[in-house]
């Protein structure tokens, strides 16, 4: 079984990724707790590549990283690459976003996910990207998932990400789409 070190401290991301890759013989593990890679890129893909490469070089193992976020049309694409830094907690990030969006009529948004896999020497081996279009609700719904999931609504499914089952989220989410595209390029 090939180990992929996931360049995150978020166990929710690891669980989501593992669901996609386990049947292919990959075992995912969190990066070392004290290892922090600065996200200095100006795109989701640039940040994913920085994280995957940095973790691979330090650990000497294959590494996978994603950089994802929410781009809200009425906020000119914000929070974008700063989605995780929009507040200290999920609740703070959601509150800030809803406050900034206020009563805007245009609530269109998209989740974007860029994924990079780096070889143990830090060279990027694979990349993929997934996008999911939706809209932002005025109030959160559902208890599954993490991040902005309770307020991100898919009209065609009439559900937020936080209301979806794991299999539904795998099918429709930005991360699901990026991981599906990546699966076709594996094995390493």
Active site residues: 67
Q: Are strands 63-72 and 2-6 parallel, antiparallel or unpaired?
A: parallel
Q: How far is CA 148 from CA 35, 37, 81, 145, 188, in A?
A: 25, 23, 14, 9, 32
Query: For residue 103, what is the DSSP state?
Result: T
Q: What is the three-class DSSP state of 70?
A: strand
Q: Given phi > 0 = left and psi -120 to 50 = alpha, else beta, which region is 60?
A: left
Q: Where are the alpha helices (DSSP H) in the chain?
A: 11-21, 44-59, 90-101, 166-172, 174-183
Q: What is the three-class DSSP state of 164?
A: coil
């Amino acid at each position: 079984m090939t180990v992929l070190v996931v360049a995150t401290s978020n166990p929710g991301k690891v669980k989501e990724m593992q669901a996609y890759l386990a049947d292919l013989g990959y075992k995912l593990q969190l990066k070392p707790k004290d290892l922090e890679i600065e996200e200095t890129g100006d795109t989701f893909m640039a940040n994913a590549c920085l994280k995957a490469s940095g973790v691979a070089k330090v650990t000497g193992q294959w590494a996978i990283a994603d950089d994802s976020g929410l781009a809200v049309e009425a906020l000119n694409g914000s929070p974008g690459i700063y989605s995780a830094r929009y507040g200290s907690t999920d609740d703070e990030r959601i509150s800030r976003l809803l406050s900034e969006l206020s009563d805007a009529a245009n609530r269109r948004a998209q989740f974007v996910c860029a994924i990079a896999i780096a070889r143990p020497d830090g060279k990027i081996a694979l990349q993929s990207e997934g996008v999911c279009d939706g809209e932002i609700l005025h109030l959160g719904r559902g208890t599954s998932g993490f991040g902005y999931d309770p307020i991100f609504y898919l009209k065609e499914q009439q559900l937020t990400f936080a209301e979806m089952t794991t299999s539904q989220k795998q099918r429709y989410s930005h991360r699901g789409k990026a991981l599906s595209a990546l699966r076709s390029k594996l094995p390493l």
